[in-house]
Amino acid sequence: MTNRENMKGMRILVVGFGRSGIAAAQALLRLGALVSVQDSKKEEDLDGNLLNFFRTQGAQFYLNTMPPDMGCFDMLVLSPGVSPELPFVQEAKEKGAEIIGELEIAYRIGRGNYVAITGTNGKTTTTTLVGEIFVKAKRKTHVVGNIGVAVISASAAAEEQDWLVTECSSFQLETTRYFKPVVSAILNLTPDHLNRHHTMEAYGAAKAKIFANQSADGWLVINYDDKACYALAKGCRAGVVPFSVEEELEFGAFVKDDRLVIRGRDGELTEICRREDIRIIGKHNLQNVLAAAAICYFAGVDPAAIRKGICEFRGVEHRIEFCGEHGGVRYYNDSKGTNTDASITALKAIERNIVLIAGGDAKGQEFDGFVREFPGRVKKLVLLGRDAHLIQEAADRAGFSDYVYCRDMAECVEKAAELAEPGDTVLLSPACASWDMYDSYEQRGEHFKECVARLGV
């Protein structure tokens, strides 16, 4: 395995010059690698000062073009948004280059202990909560990964005793090879990113790579109630810790008499907190909190610190985030609802009298199951974005016709405010990615909050 000691002189192509690509290129240059960068953007679309800085460090750039000889590289480091199936990546692989991603290279050249969390939904909430609990337990903690901070930017400077609490997407995991966390977790498994992975089997296999290198001294925390998810644990060499909000378990984390508890191998119960201590709404968040408690417990955190972290946790931005109340109508930002399952979770959390704003980049999803959750919950549907017609067509098939199209977010919020009555909730939960109109779901959520704030002006 290549590591920080043998990177000097390696010919490495970093593919993608976004957040993770920039961090990877910088770390590799410091280790003496011969770094080239490929990005589909043109030079004028990137920060000139940033390009100049990297060029003075010795980096070579291929912008809006490809290197003429893919056989000249020892390794390609792919940013998460770059598919390993691209022809030039496959060409490099055939010519002998190792193909890995930023998460893998961060693990190889960095130090520290990893807690790795994946799943279709709930990753950011669970990762954030675990990070906060670790901080309360006085551990030197870096919260990194898909949550917004490149793993390599922290791992390269980490010490042996540090902890890297890492949100891992399937895109990051599919290019891992030796990545080995102390504790891993899979929260759930529902259809997502099928335009990239093609099948649920391939998607699940990418998620399962999170524990592929763990041994008997590690732990896998996994959702017992989600049978497709739990089936992924077959063959796992680490200790498998199930969590459940539905059943009492012989071993693992579960809810008993409205208390979150963990039962160890010896059968002894440890109470973590009361259900009423949890401040974030919805059954899905009960699952997230239970998973976080199990992750921290099996990482050796004292139950008192776990309890304190849970009791003080107020949730994360863009995930069923309360934005205010105007005219007796409550507004929630769930821009992180980028797939149907996440948005169904938000609908179930709020329960009734919802004016829903949805639409965007569908990512190859179908929406019939999403629309089947509308009765008794969604009163009005406000549609936005490139693939909004797919939601409308599913609504038509289900006999739901109370929808309206809008051009942009400002019009959506104005129309939703007009349609809502006192006691209703306006919910932005798009069930789609943001890339048709925004650079990220964060940008979309911020715009929604700005539009809501203007209602009170």
Which residues line the annotated binding site? 119-125
Distance CA 428, CA 319 (A): 10
Residue 243: enclosing H or E segment and its boundaries?
strand 239-244
Structure tokens at 239: 């200790």
Find how far residue 281's CA is from the centre of its chain: 19
Structure tokens at 181: 């966390």
What burial class does residue 131 get, using C-beta atoms within 10 Å of its C-beta: 0-12 exposed, 13-18 middle, 19+ buried? buried
Binding-site residue numbers for ATP are 119-125
199 DSSP assignment: S
Using CA atoms, how far residue 153 sits from 21, 32, 167, 357, 428, in Å, is 10, 16, 14, 36, 32
Strands 60-63 and 34-39: parallel
Beta bridge partners of 377: none
Query: Which of helix, strand or coil describes residue 62?
Result: strand
The strand ranges marked E within 295-367 are: 321-326, 329-333, 354-358
Nearest-10 Cα torsion for 129, 135, 140, 141 = 20
Find how far residue 442's CA is from the centre of its chain: 12
Where b means 16+ CB within 10 Å and e means fewer, 440-454 reads ebeebbbbbbebbee
Structure tokens at 34: 């011969």
Rounded to 10 deg, the angle between the 303-312 and 123-136 helix axes is 130
Find all residues with CB under 8 Å of 313, minimum gap 6, and list them.
Answer: 128, 129, 132, 278, 279, 280, 289
181 DSSP assignment: -
